[in-house]
C-alpha cells in the first residue's frame, strides 16, 4: 500500500510498504477481528465506527495487477454447496489498478516497546456496486483512485470526508477485462503464475 503520514515538523511524507490485509482498528482488543474486515463499503466507510477515523486521515492506495471474483456453477462440492468458477479481473491495458484503501495501527499490549512487531499495520479495500464490466460475475467491486487525485487522497491533513469520497470511483466502463481461471485459485495454499492463465469455465448455468 502507498500511504502518507504527517510528521510533527514537516509536510506529509509518503511511503510504499507491505501491510496485512484485514483492518484491525487501533481500539480492538483482539487482532483477529481483522479477518472479518478485509473490505469496507464505500456507502458507509465514513460512518462506521471501525472505519470512519481511518477514512478521515489514514487513506492509502493499494496497487494491484488484478483481483479475483467467483461465480456460482451447477457443480456441487463435497460440502453440498455449489462450486464457484473464479474469474480474474484486470486492467484492459495491462497496467496497475490503484484501489482505494484505508489503514490503521494496532499496538500489541503484550509486546515490549523495543519489539519491532509491537505495532501491526493493517488495511481494508473500499468497495462499491459493480459496474457492468464486473456485475455479471459479482455485485461488488473495489473502488479506485484516478492518478490526478492521488495527492489529495493520500494527504492526511485533508479530513473533509465528503471531498475524500468524491476522489474515489469505480474503474471506468471498458477499462477492465475479465476471464475465467483455474479453480486451483479456490485453495489459498496454491500460488504461482498458472493462477492467472485463462481456463475454460466449468458447470456454469
pLDDT of 116 reads 87
Residue 45 lies in a domain: yes
Residue 5 lies in a domain: no
> CA 165 to CA 157: how far, in whole Å?
15
pLDDT of 8 reads 45
Largest CA-CA distance found in the chain, in angstroms, rounded: 60
For the chain, percent helix, then strand, then coil, each to nearest 5? 20, 35, 45
pLDDT of 9 reads 46
pLDDT tens for the chain, 205 residues: list them.
767 655 444 555 678 889 999 999 999 999 899 999 999 999 999 999 999 999 999 999 999 999 999 998 888 888 888 888 999 999 999 999 999 999 999 999 999 999 988 999 999 999 999 999 899 899 999 999 999 999 999 999 999 999 999 999 999 989 999 999 998 998 889 999 999 999 988 655 4
Residue 177 lies in a domain: yes
pLDDT of 20 reads 94
What CATH number does residue 180 fall under?
3.90.1680.10
pLDDT of 144 reads 97
Residue 128 lies in a domain: yes
Q: Are the C-beta atoms of 61 and 148 separated by less than 8 Å? A: no
Residue 203 lies in a domain: no
- Give residue 104's domain range: 15-196
Alpha carbon dihedral 117, 17, 145, 186, in 10-degree steps, equals -70
Q: Distance between terminal CA atoms of the chain?
A: 37
Residue 115 lies in a domain: yes
The pTM for the full model equals 0.88
Domain total of the chain: 1
pLDDT of 82 reads 84
Residue 7 lies in a domain: no
Residue 9 lies in a domain: no
Amino acid at each position: 500500500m502507498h500511504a502518507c503520514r504527517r510528521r510533527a515538523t514537516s509536510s506529509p511524507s509518503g511511503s510504499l510498504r507491505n501491510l496485512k490485509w484485514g483492518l484491525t482498528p487501533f481500539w480492538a482488543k483482539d487482532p483477529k477481528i481483522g479477518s472479518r474486515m478485509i473490505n469496507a463499503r464505500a456507502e458507509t466507510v465514513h460512518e462506521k465506527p471501525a472505519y470512519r477515523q481511518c477514512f478521515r486521515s489514514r487513506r492509502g492506495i493499494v496497487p494491484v495487477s488484478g483481483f479475483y471474483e467467483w461465480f456460482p456453477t451447477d457443480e456441487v462440492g463435497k460440502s453440498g454447496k455449489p462450486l464457484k468458477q473464479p474469474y480474474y479481473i484486470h486492467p484492459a491495458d495491462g497496467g496497475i489498478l490503484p484501489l482505494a484503501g484505508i489503514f490503521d495501527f494496532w499496538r500489541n499490549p503484550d509486546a515490549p516497546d523495543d519489539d519491532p512487531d509491537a505495532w501491526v499495520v493493517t488495511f481494508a479495500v473500499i468497495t462499491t456496486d459493480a459496474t457492468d464490466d464486473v456485475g455479471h460475475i459479482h455485485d461488488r467491486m473495489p473502488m479506485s483512485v484516478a492518478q490526478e487525485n492521488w495527492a489529495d487522497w493520500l494527504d492526511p491533513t485533508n479530513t473533509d470526508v465528503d471531498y475524500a469520497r468524491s476522489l474515489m470511483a469505480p474503474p471506468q466502463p471498458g477499462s477492465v477485462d475479465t476471464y475465467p481461471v483455474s479453480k486451483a485459485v479456490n485453495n489459498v495454499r496454491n500460488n504461482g503464475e498458472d493462477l492467472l492463465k485463462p481456463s475454460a469455465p466449468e458447470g456454469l448455468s
